[in-house]
A and B are shown apart, each in its own frame.
Chain A
Amino acid sequence: MSFLHDYAYYIGAFGLVLIGLLIVLTKHNLIKVIVGLSILDTGINMFLIAVGYIRNGTAPIFSRPGLEAGGMVDPVPQALVLTAIVIGVAVLALALGIAVRLHREYGTLDMRKIKELRW
């Protein structure tokens, strides 16, 4: 029980990563693969935030007097994730754009029917 208590956030975040990876590996529909990549991305972001957490820490914002720098969580992972989310959206849009082009070219999104994508 204490194991679960200690590692619940890691388990949740990497659960998402593994689900995303499973979708990427097993699905044949390109849109589903892109959704899997997006889930994987979310899991990694959550993991970074969980690593930066410090028990009983507050958000690293000095919004009112009396907050101590010692009781705050690590701001660096949050700063990384902040930009990673927006870039994730742009990369997702790029992937969808390539999927649109593939569909226009081959008339299908099934990776088994697109020769160059088969594995």
Chain B
Amino acid sequence: MRTAFSIVVLAVVAVGIGAALLAVPFGSPKTQVGDYYNEHGRAQTGAANMVTSVVVGYRAFDTLGEVTVLFVAALGLGAVLSAAGGRSGRREVQPASLVLLAGSRFLFPMITLFGAYVFLHGHLTPGGGFQGGAVVASGFLLLYLGTRGRRVNRIGSTVAESLSGLAFVVIGLIGLTVGGRYFLSNFMPTGALNTLFSAGIIPLIYIAVGFKVGSELSGVIDDLVEETA
């Protein structure tokens, strides 16, 4: 009964989507706004990476909303898992096998460095705060794999998360007051294209986003690890 119903639902969805997509040819230009960004993004934001110029230039306010969604999801996970009172006290630290332990200690600084590289160069190369933050969090995951019972400093990660979120908003407010035009407007010189110190506030925002995403996802990992341990 349930399977038959599901297949009927799937068939309806598939036919509807198929009919709609036949009118959307693959590979042809569809919007003018993308062309506009490609055409004017370099001059208006100073970033070489057009995706970045959209994410933290033209639509930075939208990105602030996305960061908030991520924050609420991480907060919700912490609330859901901790409400049951399953938090045990201090556990003993059990190292994993020597190979895993040494490997995780060896790789953790490199992964962190790579994550920092990714979010520092978000306006020049593929990448940015979200990806760099995820890379940093994967380094923390490796630390958890290397040693059971070991915890990152939750207070430190909460402070980093709060300060970076605050930095995003403060940069926006400076744009509103000093830049004088609108929230998150660019108040710094855009510099020469394709150099590290270019694109005005975009690298600053991406550094803040990198720290925020990194500490939030590390917190998510910490919550889940604590639950399973």
Contact = CB atoms under 8 A, between A and B. Distances in A.
- Co-assembled chains A and B: yes
A104 B21 CA distance: 44
Interface residues of B, number: 66
B147 interface: no
Interface in A30-57: 50-55
Contact of A21 (B13, B21, B124): B13
Interface in B1-58: 2-3, 5-7, 9-10, 13-14, 17-18, 21, 24-31, 33-35, 37-39, 41-42, 48-51, 53-55
Contact of B50 (A14, A53, A61, A86): A61
Interface in A54-89: 54-55, 59-63, 69-70, 72-76, 78-79, 82-83, 85-87, 89
Nearest to A90: B73
A100 interface: yes
Interface stretch (B102-110, B127-135, B184-192): B127-135
B193 interface: yes
**Chain B interface, DSSP helix/strand/loop, else mixed:** helix
A75 B26 contact: no
A22 interface: yes
A83 B66 contact: yes
A101 B28 CA distance: 47
**Could you say which of A72, A89, A93 has the most chain B C-beta atoms within 10 Å of its C-beta?**
A93
A79 B59 contact: yes
Nearest to B18: A14
Interface stretch (B88-96, B152-160, B175-183, B212-220): B212-220
Interface stretch (B76-84, B111-119, B164-172): B76-84
**Could you say which of A7, A22, A53, A76 has the most chain B C-beta atoms within 10 Å of its C-beta?**
A76
Contacts, number: 160
A6 interface: yes
B73 A104 contact: no
Contact of B84 (A50, A61, A75, A104): A104
A75 B38 contact: yes
A90 B10 contact: no
Interface of B: 2-3, 5-7, 9-10, 13-14, 17-18, 21, 24-31, 33-35, 37-39, 41-42, 48-51, 53-55, 59, 63, 66, 69-70, 73-74, 76-77, 80-81, 83-84, 86, 124-126, 128, 130-131, 133-134, 193-194, 213, 216-217, 220, 223-224, 227
14 contacts: A18-B14, A22-B7, A52-B34, A61-B124, A63-B124, A75-B37, A82-B51, A89-B217, A90-B73, A90-B74, A94-B73, A101-B80, A101-B81, A104-B86
Interface of A: 6-10, 14, 17-18, 21-22, 25-26, 50-55, 59-63, 69-70, 72-76, 78-79, 82-83, 85-87, 89-91, 93-94, 96-98, 100-101, 104
The 5 closest A-B pairs by CB, nearest first: A74-B34, A60-B50, A55-B27, A25-B6, A90-B73
